[in-house]
Amino acid sequence: MTGIRVDFLAAAGAAERLLRRPEVAAAWRAPSALAGWSVGGLAGHLAYQVLCVREALAAVAPTEETVGLLDHYARVAWVGAALDADANVRIREGGESFAVEGPLALHRRLAAALAEVTTALATADGARPARLPIWGPWSLTLDDLLATRTMELAVHGDDLAVSVGVPTPELPPETADFVVGLLARLAVRRHGWVDVVRALSRAERAPGSIAAF
């Protein structure tokens, strides 16, 4: 296995190890670093990034239009939406529904899914269409779906680590490079390349933010 599959599995493994930590279980019902999320709900959302790949791999190949990676982010309802927008409320409720299982059960569920996905990705066709039910009526290639989940795992792994006061999980350099590269492309789409270049090279002309979302 090479490329995005290796990156996804590396990020998923880091998430699995984070969910195993006692600090996560101890803070399960406490507020997280993200507004509106409990630690357990955030852990549930992190685990979902692997669970949903297992579901996508097991599903019949969808027939909806297959779009490119950046086009996907131009379509999803949560990008730029307010905290109380329907899309974001549904995402939080989904994470909280996984938290009901408790930390031990959720970790076991994640570990089992990760083992299944690792085996399935060894032979899966990266060009086959795949989609999640929370999207609109479009698909991505499987490899692009893995790209979206890799970024989610990295970002929310940091969120969860900060929430419980532990170090953010380390990622292999190649995986970190991929995540930073994808976020940079999304930042350029949102802010334009000039602001991104200035933020990275000229502190005196840097804009207030180049956040990708």
Residues sharing a CB contact under 8 Å with residue 72, sequence separation 6 or more, in sequence order? 135, 138, 140, 144, 148
Say what the pLDDT of residue 213 is.
87
pLDDT in tens, 71-127: 999 888 777 767 787 877 888 888 899 999 899 999 999 999 999 999 999 999 999
Residue type, 29: R
Global pTM reads 0.94
Say what the pLDDT of residue 1 is.
58
User: What is the distance between the alpha carbons of residues 132 and 120, in angstroms, rounded to a whole number?
Assistant: 17
Burial class (CB in 10 A: 0-12, 13-18, 19+), 4: buried
Q: State the pLDDT confidence band at 47, using cuts at 50, 70 and 90.
A: very high
Domains in the chain: ranges and CATH: 4-169 (1.20.120.450), 172-213 (no CATH)
